[in-house]
Amino acid sequence: MKHYNKFYINGTWVPSDSTSIKEVINPTTQEVIAQVSLGSKSDVDQAVIAARNAFASWSQTSREERLAVLDRIIEVYKTRLEDMAQAITSEMGAAISMSRSAQSPIGMLHFITARDVLADFSFENEQGGSHIVKEPIGVCGFITPWNWPMNQIACKVAPALACGCTIVLKPSEMTPLSAQLFAEILHEAGVPTGVFNMVYGDGPEVGSAISSHPDIDMVSLTGSTRAGVQVSKAAADNIKRVSLELGGKSPFVILDDADFEGAVRWGAKQCFRNVGQSCNAPTRMLVPAALHDQAVQVVKETALNTRVGDPRSEETDIGPLSNALQFDKVNGMIQSAIDAGNELIVGGTGRPDGLDKGYFIRPTAFANVRNDSTIAQEEVFGPVLTIIPYSNEEEAIQIANDTPYGLAAYIESGSLERARSVARKMRAGTVYLNRNDFDPRAPFGGYKQSGNGREWGEFGFHDFLEIKGIVGYQ
């Protein structure tokens, strides 16, 4: 068993004085695979002092110096890709094929993207007789989740480093294996002392200490909408900048001129991917009413052909949900939807046949769902799809936008121009057209209760910069 009882502070691994320990459970076997120390406010204080001291020099480094650091991180990360994939599969249950193709390399990809953006980014320009300067905001506090551990850490850390900021990270206490590897990568790459710091802990203690700390200049959270509210309130007393990437209930609008069967099958797979534990998953499938029954058959077939099992096997499509709380929550929401009279067409509560342990769950779908029902409005964060019929394009757009969230939307049409037109009417931070589902340089973030601020690519730099106008410069 591994013991994560040291925090990375000021360039070294510092023993924790914490007596609070959390067991890390492998969601496949339900066995304890590690223990992690949960830090305290005093641990955060130490990390902030280190970051504040390092900011004075790191913020003044040249573009070339920061590019060199990012290049070294990328090179070291390449050597740890398989280690990272294995860690993520062990701690949160992602299928190893997905860990290798997406969960692990996406962290490196964010560093590659940040490096490319930094190479050409304009930190200074003239406007009239004034000189406009974009300067690093200061010490940044990051609070990240367990569902895409490297994606959420790297998409914050990479641009922050590129902009000249220093960092205090609280990774999820449920996924310390990957976070530990990440800190080791940055250490081996020679990130200067104090520039990157990491403290394990839970939200009420370490997360709250980061959010409210007077010497942290901005805080960025990826998590639930409830957590976003708490972080915003804690940060308010210090008037610090807050960036939030929160929940979603993303629509997939399949228009009547689409390759219908292909679109439905793709949408169901996207919903079930990562066991539904993606904030931008297309969990509401909107289909023409005349084609609803056809969609039901394709979704049912896709769900039954989704291979649920041991995530260490290359034959597995999806592994277990990541933890016991998720297992209970998702099963509870499925049962509540059934009790409310929603039409269950595949899946349901409980483990798939043949699996008697682990947090496994069956891919599930409901048909003829009303958009005002709980299962269509609340984020499940599991492989649960709702199929919603619509009568015309106008109604489809109205239903798609009728949600408290606005993180993502998906459009499928045989006409790119039509897809573009509908995309402009979506109240969502990212709209994906015709099965294009990823671009590391496109902005990622949400409207409404899905958060504020944007991550990824050039847009990921903006939250880490202050803007200074020097009037009379000329």
Say what the pLDDT of residue 19 is: 87
- Asked if pLDDT for residue 457 goes beyond 90, the answer is yes
Res. 17 pLDDT band, cuts 50 70 90: confident
Which range is least confidently modeled, 15-24, 113-122, 170-179, 222-231?
Answer: 15-24
- Contact between 456 and 110 (Cβ < 8 Å): yes
Q: What is the mean pLDDT of residues 393-400?
A: 98
CA distance 80 to 209: 31
CA distance 85 to 382: 21
Res. 16 pLDDT band, cuts 50 70 90: confident
The active-site residue out of 91, 245, 379, 455 is 245
pLDDT over 90, % of the chain: 98
Say what the pLDDT of residue 1 is: 87
Q: What is the mean pLDDT of residues 95-124?
A: 98
Q: What is the mean pLDDT of residues 456-466?
A: 97
Say what the pLDDT of residue 133 is: 97
CA distance 208 to 199: 13
Say what the pLDDT of residue 57 is: 98
pLDDT in tens, 259-275: 999 999 999 999 999 99
- Asked if pLDDT for residue 284 goes beyond 90, the answer is yes
State both tokens at 305.
């052909």
Res. 361 pLDDT band, cuts 50 70 90: very high
Say what the pLDDT of residue 18 is: 83
Q: What is the mean pLDDT of residues 72-77?
A: 98
Q: Which domains does the chain have, with CATH numbers?
A: 2-246+450-470 (3.40.605.10), 251-439 (3.40.309.10)
Instruction: Report residue 218: phi and psi, to 5°.
Output: -150, 150
The reply to whether 245 belongs to the active site is: yes
- Contact between 389 and 410 (Cβ < 8 Å): no
pLDDT over 70, % of the chain: 100
Q: What is the mean pLDDT of residues 12-38?
A: 95
With a CB cutoff of 8 Å and minimum separation 6, the contacts of 263 are 252, 254, 412, 435
pLDDT in tens, 190-244: 999 999 999 999 999 999 999 999 999 999 999 999 999 999 999 999 999 999 9
Is the pTM for the entire model greater than 0.95?
A: yes
Say what the pLDDT of residue 474 is: 83
Say what the pLDDT of residue 237 is: 95
Q: Which of 82, 79, 91, 108 is nearest to 188 (CA)?
A: 79
Task: Give CA separation, 430 vs 77, 408, 444, in Å.
Answer: 28, 5, 6
- Asked if pLDDT for residue 298 goes beyond 90, the answer is yes
